[in-house]
Structure 1
């Protein structure tokens, strides 16, 4: 749309034809006048229906409305989880500790049982909300925690967020910073909120992230040395699958090590770039140096351009699960191979990995649906073969939205062993520890129909099919 020549939006073809939207826009307009000290009593009440609607104004109003709705959604999530903690009966069933003769089979005290019930109720409610809104339960809990943190510690900033005056990125950055302030440092909360509320409304996300670190640093009552020691205990490295056979690696490490690592990558990349026949970009060189240093353990080998990844014959022994159609392996088909914990990868990489495999297991799949039909059981112990079958059929935890690889999960009895459930493929499935405890400790139920399709029923009666495999 050419904003220089078309400054009005046709009323019949826009959101302005919606009376509810017009009213919401009008109220936002009046609130903005009030914030700027402009009296709105004398403004014509028909203004919202007769004013020329500039498309820029429309875009700004929509952005503000979306921001407000996002924060209000976070608050609604927080309210549901808080209610679940206060009244867990709907999510975990009747409280057995109310019976004076009841004793926990595992020996827990009544107080410990009640605390566990509250925890399971919150987990169960988050899983239910996530299933209904196509989010994971962790995302629901994260958004609820963000709202709770800001409402409690940063009331000025939170009011502006609910009003739509702060971008979602700045809301998240402010919540993260406020959450790291001590739980009993209300003076620090006040100092942080006083400065951050204004900055969050004025600055773009990149600038605000820089500014909020300084605001938090000045408001924090503890020394930098104490904070660094505590933060260093949470150091971690994570791998996030990306598109087209790539992965993103993030490391949460002390800044000094990060800076030294960056300098080593840069120095080695500059050295390689100076070679006569080097054609790779600086970014590609940094990535190749990073991989070679990590995979080869810091050997003196100079990384070179290669079309296929190099895998050392010695050093570290690892196990990688790769599902590859036999026709693809033989070069007679184009169906993608699946790398466990990631997803589809290109055929050349799959064949390179397959060439170094020391052991193979035949898996028969339906050529149309991709469903695992059978698996060769050459291992002596039956549980090991069953696990291999189940992890091939279900690459991830079966709970709604969970992406925990099945190789890291428990193998759960859908119908409990104590209730007569069989140790058979039709009654088994991978569940991560978090969701295993929710299934066993709440009314969440996993169902299986006559054709083997799995589904879930939440304590509120919400039903949904189990997530399909990624291949």
Structure 2
């Protein structure tokens, strides 16, 4: 089982941008999931059945609080353990998830030309995927969260058994255990390093709060790691990337995972540009707001001349190369859905930004004014429903793909948020069996869930009443379609 890459925290937006980061979303979600597990009854029966009357004596209240915290930690450990056991069982008996092994039939021939060994490897992979998906939809978790928890349990059992034992007994919190697993997963296959890290981490976990523990445990990892920092940096360099997270009220967080020297240089440049702007007499923005605006201007070049001038002035001694006059940069395409009456100012129905969700109307109208082209969608004049687009070819036309991107903005699998533009358009009624290429018979499925539907015992069917795509798991559970994301 693969060990996931380390999570990257988002720093708190403060003037001192190098301060310790706040707990990330995964850590907060982890605590919430643990509390939810207790509500499901994953705690010991003796604890769950205890008298819930709140004592009035402060000492007794604190004892009760410690008992509840320990029960929550035990419940979290039990959840991790059960997830790992289900996935291990799927690898031991894949037939439950993907059906009988076809290679055992003496007349079997693979239409894709795979060898027996390749088919059996694929069956194990798809069985694990199917099990992960079933756990995810039943617990209402992301599939990556399920995989991560199984990986954490695997690492703790193998590399940090003392931390795992204390976690299972409720004496170490989930936050401590997860951070231990994350760091231990990056150690080389050296048992002496594992033992040293496990021993040191346990001592710290029993005495330190999670934030202090994380700092101390990272230092411990550096001390016991057998590989040079240069070797590790070269490997970590391959994980660099940029991603966006939707936030509330029309905002979003843009995160970049970069080599430390380049990240520091980028932050210094943005900070320098912001401080240059801050000295203007009529400037009212805070330094944090100026950094955000300078960062956005330099990346999007929404005001290229101003951004270049600001940067050139702010980076005295550096060479800045600006675009030649008249060669404006190409702007990336975005999709904004705006009701016509809203666009005309006769209604206040919200607009949506593809891949994000609702945005304020002023932003939507500004984007409409700046649009260089439009795509018109034909709808029924009374009901407003899209006109059906029956097709006689297997290939999905561009216009139909665009329309499906509006009506079904994400993968149709429960809980999957991958945008339709990154998905396969799957024929629900197979083309080879007479299915048509139209919006009633097509659903977006990311490549992973597309394979899951065709290569495992996961099944999907159209609800005759609602038209939504309902799913049936390999173990027979019926999963209703997700509500529209926006």
CA apart distance, 1:49: 12
Match of 1:456 among 449, 471, 480: 471
Q: Which moved more, 1:329-338 or 1:204-213?
A: 204-213
Where 2:333 maps in the other structure, the secondary structure is coil
Q: Secondary structure at the match of 1:181?
A: coil
Work out whether residues 235 and 253 of structure 1, in 8 Å CA contact, stay in contact via their aligned partners in 2: yes
Aligned to 2:414: 400
1:225 corresponds in structure 2 to 230
Which residue among 251, 258, 264 is the counterpart of 2:269? 264
**CA deviation vs aligned residue, 1:143-168 (integer Å, no higher than 9, x gap):** 11111111111100111111222222
**Kept in 2: contact 1:134–1:401 (CA 8 A):** yes
Following TM superposition, the consecutive aligned residue runs of length 4 or more in structure 1 with deviations greater than 4 angstroms are 48-53, 364-368
Q: For 1:425-464, list aligned pairs within 5 A.
A: 425-451=439-465, 452-464=467-479
Shift of 1:187: 2.1
Q: 3-state DSSP class of the match of 1:202?
A: coil
Residues paired across the two proteins, number: 423
Residue 302 (structure 1) aligned with residue 310 (structure 2)? yes
The root-mean-square deviation of aligned C-alpha atoms, in Å, is 3.1
Equivalent in 189, 202, 213 of residue 207 of structure 2: 202
The match for 2:143 is 137
- Corresponding residue for residue 64 of structure 1: 70
2:259 equivalent in structure 1: 254
User: Which whole-Å CA distance do the structure 1 matches of 2:174 and 2:381 have between them?
Assistant: 44
1:103 to 1:355, Cα distance in 2 relative to 1, 3 A:
same
> Deviation per CA, 1:79-105, whole angstroms, max 9, x where unpaired?
101111111101101101112332222
Contact 2:342-2:349 within 8 A present in 1 as well:
yes
* Match of residue 82 from structure 1: 88
Q: Show the 5 A alignment for 1:324-343.
A: 324-343=338-357
Q: Which runs of 5+ in 2 are unaligned?
A: 1-37, 312-325
TM-score between the two structures when normalised by the length of structure 1: 0.83
Give the 3 Å change call, closer, same or farther, for CA 286–87 of structure 1 in structure 2: same
Q: C-alpha separation between the residues in 2 aligned to 1:402 and 1:313?
A: 40
Aligned to 2:386: 373
Write the distance in 1 (CA, Å) between the matches of 2:379 and 2:474: 34
Residues 1:51 and 1:360: Cα distance change in structure 2 (over 3 Å): closer
CA distance in 2, matches of 1:455, 1:366: 26
Q: How has the CA–CA distance of structure 1 residues 26 and 386 changed in structure 2, closer, same or farther, with 3 Å as cutoff?
A: closer
Structure 1 stretches lacking a partner, 5+ long: 1-14, 28-45, 304-311
Structure 2 match to 1:308: none
Which of 239, 242, 248 is matched with 1:237 structurally? 242
Partner SS, residue 461 of structure 1: coil
Tell me what 1:424 maps to: 438
Other-structure match for 1:4: none
User: After the TM superposition, which residues 147-186 of structure 1 pair with which residues of structure 2 at under 5 Å, given as runs?
Assistant: 147-182=153-188, 184-186=189-191
**Counterpart-to-counterpart distance in 2, 1:243 and 1:434:** 29
SS in 1 for 2:272: helix
